[in-house]
Amino acid sequence: MNEPTLKFLVTCPSCALQSMTEISIALVANALLTEKNIRLYASCHDLYWTATFVEREQLRKMLRTMKVDARQRTVVQLVSSHSRDGLRKSGSH
C-alpha cells in the first residue's frame, strides 16, 4: 500500500515558475517534529533546496488543516514558496 502524500505548489528559486510537487506526509511530519531539513524540488530547473522557515510553517499549517481522501490517499494543497535561499542542484541532495 502506498503511503499518503501531500501535493502542493512550489516556486522555483531560479525562475519563479510554479509547479506541483509531491512529498510523503510522514516525511514532512517527521521533519517538522524533529527539526530536520525538508527538501523541496522544482522540475523546471531540476533544483532541490531546503525549505525555509516560511515554507516549513506553510507545510505545518497544511498538515493541521488537511483532509485526506481515503480512496486516493493523497492530499492536495496549494502553497507558494518564494524563497531563493538554499539553491542546490539535484545532484547534491
CA 38 to chain centre: 7
Q: Which of 6, 1, 77, 14 shows the shortest CA–CA distance to 49? A: 14
Q: Could you tell me the residue ranges of all domains in the chain? A: 5-92
> Which residues share a beta bridge with 19?
10
* Helix, strand, coil content of the chain in percent (nearest 5): 30, 30, 40
pTM tops 0.75: no
pLDDT digits (tens, 9 = 90+) for 35-64: 999 999 999 999 999 999 999 999 999 999
- pLDDT value, residue 71: 60
pLDDT digits (tens, 9 = 90+) for 8-42: 999 999 999 999 999 999 999 999 999 999 999 99
